[in-house]
Amino acid sequence: MNTTTEVVLPGIVAPSGLKVQVRDLPAPSEGQVVLRMDATGVSFAEQQMRLGKYFDQPPFPFVPGYDVVGTVVAVGTGVDPALKLHRFAAVTKVGGWASHLIVEAADLVPVPDGVEPAAAETVVVNGVTAWQMLHRTAKVRTGGTIVVLGANGGVGSTLVQLARHAGIKVIGTASARHHDAVRELGATPVDYRDPHMYDRIHELAPDGVDAVFDHVGGEGLHKSWRLLRRGGALVNYGTAATKDEPGNAMLPVLNCSDACSCGTCCPMASARASTTSGPASVSVPPRSAHGFGTTSRRCSVSSAPVCSRRRSPHAFRCPKPLPRWRWPSRAPCWARS
């Protein structure tokens, strides 16, 4: 196969503005394979790329497609020929919306026999994101309780299933028409259109929850923070609240991080950005029934990678005292006095 058919994003356009092109496909280089696409996805990431608002997206024009499931039809030098005609999944960030694409062999993950391509595709980026956030970022233990905003969505529904499999109780928000589906996944549904949604969650978990997974961002982050028990983690992995607003792709990310790390958690702390490695921490006054006190405790901001080329979620946690800020190497670099 020496040609490929691709869906191209030419610029900031409506969905009808996407272009289809056919171009020559070069032979795979050393360590590469040609993957015949069997399934790919359309997600929030591509929708934001179409608006020019996804962090670290390439310049227009480009071929979207964050993940792909396909069959190897050609291999380059140094790649086992036995991979040919076998099905694999890969995270590409861009390029997946193509009939054939070149992928590094090291990035391939075998798809088990009997699993349909479309079924496998739904848990590539969604599954990796959910697993990393639950087990590596928030580190919720068996017997804990979490809140998943958008529990019927791609990442949200995967989070619910992974949490239930780990023996974790889940409160999931969704519109009323999706409540039966959320219950079938094992979560307790709460209507996100209910103006008293956060009060309802407080009633279900009066002592607070171990983690809140928030893909919405915006002003709601303050309310998500107040759902946590002491030592709980707020994991923000999206900015859906501003998805239709024009502007710089980095601004919603900075606003979410700033709101939690400097406003919600520690309004009296002074932030200083750096590029040191390790989890970020800051000395903050603890919350009390009457606001903020004077004894410091730790607020960490974790940016464990979801995958090698995907923007990381941020987790905000307050367990124990620590005297200074330490920002991770992948954290947005800004300063606040």
Ramachandran quadrant class, 322 (left: phi over 0; alpha: psi -120 to 50; beta: rest): beta
pLDDT of residue 315: 58
Q: Which residues contact 292 (CB under 8 A, 6 or more apart)?
A: 267, 268, 285, 286
Q: Does domain 3-121 have CATH number 3.90.180.10?
A: yes
Q: Does domain 126-317 have CATH number 3.40.630.30?
A: no
Single-letter residue type at 254: L
| Whole-number pLDDT of residue 319 | 42
- Determine phi and psi for 44, rounding to 5 degrees: -60, -35
Neighbour count for residue 276 (Cβ, 10 Å): 12
| Percentage of the residues of the chain whose pLDDT score is greater than 90 | 67
How confident is the model over 79-117, as pLDDT tens digits? 999 999 999 999 999 999 999 999 999 999 999 999 999
Which residue in 78, 142, 139 sits closest to 104, CA to CA?
A: 78
Residue 219's pLDDT is 85
Q: Which residues pair with 320 in a beta bridge?
A: none
Average pLDDT, the chain: 80
Residue type, 192: Y
Query: Which pLDDT score is estimated for 241?
Result: 83
Q: Which residues of the chain have pLDDT under 50?
A: 263-312, 318-337
In the prediction, which pLDDT does 256 show? 61
For the chain, what is the HEC assignment? CCEEEEEEECCCCCHHHCEEEEEECCCCCCCEEEEEEEEECCCHHHHHHHCCCCCCCCCCCECCCCEEEEEEEEECCCCCHHHCCCEEEEECCCCCCECEEEEEHHHCEECCCCCCHHHHHCCCHHHHHHHHHHHHHCCCCCCCEEEECCCCCHHHHHHHHHHHHCCCEEEEEECHHHHHHHHHHCCEEEECCCCCHHHHHHHHCCCCEEEEEECCCCCHHHHHHCCEEEEEEEEECCCHHHCCCCCCCCHHHHHHHHHHHHHHCCCCCCECCCCCCCCEEEEECCEECCEECCCCEEEEEECCCCCCCCCCCEEEECCCCCCCCECCCCCCCCCEC
pLDDT (0 to 100) of residue 314 = 54
| Amino acid occupying residue 310 | R
Model-level pTM? 0.76
**Rounded CA gap, 40 and 25, in Å?**
19
The CA–CA distances, whole Å, from 262 to 218, 266, 271, 325 equal 14, 5, 7, 11
Please state the φ and ψ torsions of residue 208, each to the nearest 5 degrees.
90, 165
Domain borders along the chain are 3-121, 126-317
